[in-house]
Structure 1
Amino acid sequence: MHNSLFRWIPWLLWLVSACGSDEQADGPFHGGGSGGADSGADTGDAVADAREDAKDTGGSAGTGGSAGAGGSAGAGGNAGAGGNAGVGGNAGVAGVGGEAGSSGSAGAAAGGAGGSSGSSGSAGAGANAGAAGSSPTEPVTLRIVAANLSSGNNQSYDPGHGKRILQGLKPDIVLIQEFNYGSNSSADLQNFVDSTFGPGFSYAREAGQIPNGVISRYPIIASGEWDDPEAPNRDFCWARIDLPGPIDLWAISVHLLTSSGSNRVKEANALMAKVQTHVPQGQYVVVGGDFNTGSRNEGCIDKLSARFVTDGPYPVDQSGNGNTNAHRNSPYDWVLASPELDSLAIPTRIASQSFSNGLVFDSRVYTPLSDVPPVLVGDSGASQMQHMAVVRDFEIP
């Protein structure tokens, strides 16, 4: 062999070695970093997770994503701002901030706006949805307060006594009566809500002269009023509220007449007809406010029992008194929950104190008031303050 050929042998050996290597460049489904979905991920679980996490943020579990452990992302498979995940589909490389792993099955990557797929962008079953659209991982305590706490001569919250009580109780949802403040302009009412509860709360209010309303920490996604045929100056105010988790809350604020028990029965019948027509079974429902009832066994309460839990035990104050009118001898005010919600009731806790069945709050009875700043001892006894607040807590899974 010619000696010059020996100079090429090392180069030829290197070329053969390089061409025969089993290592491939990263393929189109490479997860990158630490984020790849396991090839054994169950497609059915992925579909359920996607549907769960896509709730209410514009994200829905679509059908465009391709199924299979190794498939690519379908049209609906992006965990993008619209939050759509294909049924069984892979959250492919187009997901927000993330790539599918080598086998790329869709997990809980149907995040809402801004929701990323997993800590390092993988589409695994543990991926986090956007904060606005994900189901909570921990139960949420929901405080609901019935509040006809106007004072002074104009049935309004201007004097400040009721406002301080609400600030001290820190509710998440208020079923409020005689909801007048300032000029009753939208700006004045929002100022009341912001200054009492903080930014982020919203409200619904009906148009009557003595209006009912609903104030909520959580988004009000629909609201309106149902006719109270017996009361010419007010209606039943309702709001559908987007709670954390998959079930919405329908909150209804009412102010029944003082005139007679028979008129309150008519009002309860009218209210129940609206609830049965408009509120789907299985939703959380709460009705509360000033019922003006002289006893716990009035006919209107019996009518409401068709959809609400109306039997005791009932909220009481620290002295064990459950009556809520100014003289503390009649149970005027109520918070009644549907069975689905009532089953989630928990003791009401304020600072170190616990009230097994809820609290009737009277600033002249409750001690220490340092638990509920800025409440003053005389607030519940202010001029024309005719009701005590009723507080109930629930734990939403």
Structure 2
Amino acid sequence: MGANITSGNAQSYTPGEGTRIFQGLDPDIAMLQEFNYGSNSSADIRSFVNTAFGTSFSYFREGGSKQIPNGIVSRYPIKSAGAWDDPQVSNREFAWARIDIPGTADLWAISVHLLTSSAATRETEATALVSFIKNNVPSTDYVAIGGDFNTSSRTEAAIGKFSSVFVTSGPYPADASGNANTNASRSKPYDWVLANGKLNNLATSVTIGSASFANGLVFDSRVFTPLSSVSPVRSSDSGATNMQHMAVVRDFVIP
């Protein structure tokens, strides 16, 4: 799950709408942006993870004084984690975690939040991130990247850069009406979950209750039915004040 689903006026999960969405969708691995909660103390962040995901989940959150840190939460043990430098911004980096999923290969989950400033800036960020991946991730492992790319189209130059590591072609996750856009007004493809070829070959439908989404799900509580399948989500959660993005979910069957 890729998720920049903070709300309220502090780019935080404290108000609770995003927490309910995590609880309802119950992801095994989530790549979070704007990973703030409460006072951001270790105790507060642990409390958020316990409530939104579960007490047995592991997590990594960027350290230091990052204003809107990225992070990863995982049902499976995190073997190592850290942050690669985003050359275009100082208030967050590219957060990564090497996760010991079942099977012989590890999963590298990378949480990113690209800048809104321009497509050229996002291309520079993507170029840097691809270099980090090629220099650090074994070719035998699975890789997933998720989060807020702030892309205005599926053909931005940044996506072209990512295509050297990830499968970037469609069909893309969508809601039940086939809308694959992810910003608040559902008009632009801001948010993504991409997989490298090894992982993408294992992609399967996302099934929630009686609903199935062949290419993955863009979750919008304002249109998802029935909400009883994603309790305790409320219909208004995705429309909360300053929730500018929808969550994106993809499923993979690991042998």
TM-score, with structure 2 as normaliser: 0.99
Partner of 2:6: 150
For residue 190 of structure 1, report the CA deviation from its aligned partner.
0.6
What is the SS of the residue equivalent to 2:2? strand
For 2:243 and 2:151, locate their aligned partners in 1 and report how far apart those are by CA, in whole Å. 17
Counterpart of 2:87, as a letter, is P
For 2:39 and 2:250, locate their aligned partners in 1 and report how far apart those are by CA, in whole Å. 31
Partner of 2:232: 374
1:352 is the counterpart of 2:210: yes
Counterpart of 2:129, as a letter, is L
- Identity rate of aligned residues, in percent? 64
1:280 is the counterpart of 2:138: yes
Where in structure 2 are the equivalents of 1:1-397 lying within 5 Å? 145-207=1-63, 208-397=66-255
For residue 212 of structure 1, report the CA deviation from its aligned partner.
0.3
Counterpart of 1:289, as a letter, is G
What is the SS of the residue equivalent to 2:59? strand
For 2:176 and 2:239, locate their aligned partners in 1 and report how far apart those are by CA, in whole Å. 16
Equivalenced residues, count: 253
For 2:94 and 2:11, locate their aligned partners in 1 and report how far apart those are by CA, in whole Å. 18
Tell whether the 8 Å contact from 2:3 to 2:248 is kept in structure 1 after alignment: yes
For 1:363 and 1:231, locate their aligned partners in 2 and report how far apart those are by CA, in whole Å. 31
Any stretches of 5+ residues in structure 1 without a counterpart? 1-144
Higher RCO, 1 vs 2 (CA within 8 Å, ≥6 residues apart):
2
What is the SS of the residue equivalent to 2:253? strand
Any stretches of 5+ residues in structure 2 without a counterpart? none
Tell whether the 8 Å contact from 2:19 to 2:51 is kept in structure 1 after alignment: no
CA deviation vs aligned residue, 1:223-264 (integer Å, no higher than 9, x gap): 000000101111000000000110100000000000000000
TM-score, with structure 1 as normaliser: 0.63
Tell whether the 8 Å contact from 2:110 to 2:146 is kept in structure 1 after alignment: yes
Tell whether the 8 Å contact from 2:61 to 2:72 is kept in structure 1 after alignment: yes
For residue 343 of structure 1, report the CA deviation from its aligned partner.
0.3
Partner of 1:108: none
For 1:363 and 1:242, locate their aligned partners in 2 and report how far apart those are by CA, in whole Å. 31
What is the SS of the residue equivalent to 1:396? coil
For 2:223 and 2:26, locate their aligned partners in 1 and report how far apart those are by CA, in whole Å. 18
Off by >3 Å, runs of 4+ in structure 1: none
For 1:172 and 1:361, locate their aligned partners in 2 and report how far apart those are by CA, in whole Å. 16
For 1:166 and 1:198, locate their aligned partners in 2 and report how far apart those are by CA, in whole Å. 10
Counterpart of 2:141, as a letter, is Q
For residue 318 of structure 1, report the CA deviation from its aligned partner.
1.0
User: Which one has the bigger strand percentage?
Assistant: 2
For 1:155 and 1:309, locate their aligned partners in 2 and report how far apart those are by CA, in whole Å. 30
RMSD: 0.5
